[in-house]
Amino acid sequence: MVADRPPLCRPPGAIRMLTGPAARSPPWPLPTSDSALMSTGTMHSISSSDLLFDPPAFDTSIEQWEGQLDYVNEKVEQWKVYGDPKDGLYPDLRAFLMKAIREHMVLEKQVFSSVEDAYRYIRHKVPEERRQKINVLLDSMNSGHTVRQRHLDDWERYAQEKSAAGPGQPGERDDLGAMYGVVERMASEITRLKVMEKNLRRMKDELQVYVQDAKARGVLHERADVEDKGD
């Protein structure tokens, strides 16, 4: 019988794998299908107009995103404690977690694109002396899109390599050391995504300063057409 639930966060040197039935039977289930994840559809519905005129909707979606990331992170930590490369479910669990993280990386790209579009629009509603700061931000975001796409491509290649690895297959052998390596890579990616969430909140708050100023000067109206975002 499995004892009390172990702490989810252990330093690498303190990781201890359970043996016997406990290793294959955690006290709570590890998912192997997408149905176990919360829906990510609301994140895709965020538009530039929402960011400009409905910031609470943005905050709600970011909170949902954070909750989903916490869920995935918890499953990664559970896998670290209870995972067993000899278990028949091991490849499915690994694939599920890697795909879940990939979906969050795709969401990250989408939301940053919406934020960039909103800034491109508001740039034409602020006084000339304030546009330079926005231009600098937009230049940085443009470079960031390239970095995020490269990062996503790297993750997809990494996932494919891990799927191909195993006894009798080229690549890394499926053993505990390899599993811990994947766990650490997943944990690092989740940490990076959480930092990006904080950056998005900050950028939304800064955007709202420009929005309120434009409204006060009468150059921005509720639910204006933001399709024409300018150059």
* Contact present, 81 and 135 (Cβ < 8 Å): no
Give me the helix-helix angle, 128-164 and 176-216, nearest 10°: 160
What confidence score (pLDDT) does residue 8 get?
Answer: 32
Q: What is the mean pLDDT for each group of 10 consecutive residues in the chain (231 residues)? A: 35 31 46 53 66 90 89 90 81 89 92 95 93 95 93 95 64 72 94 94 95 93 58 50
CA–CA gap between residue 169 and residue 148 (Å, rounded): 30
Burial of residue 13 (number of CB atoms within 10 Å: 0-12, 13-18, 19+): exposed
Q: Which two tokens stand for residue 219?
A: 């150059």
Q: pTM of the full predicted structure?
A: 0.77
Residue 31: DSSP 8-state: P
Residue 4: DSSP 8-state: S
26: left (phi over 0), alpha (psi -120 to 50) or beta: beta
R_g over Cα of the chain: 22
Q: Which two tokens stand for residue 74?
A: 């918890």
What confidence score (pLDDT) does residue 103 get?
Answer: 92
How long is the chain? 231
What confidence score (pLDDT) does residue 152 get?
Answer: 96
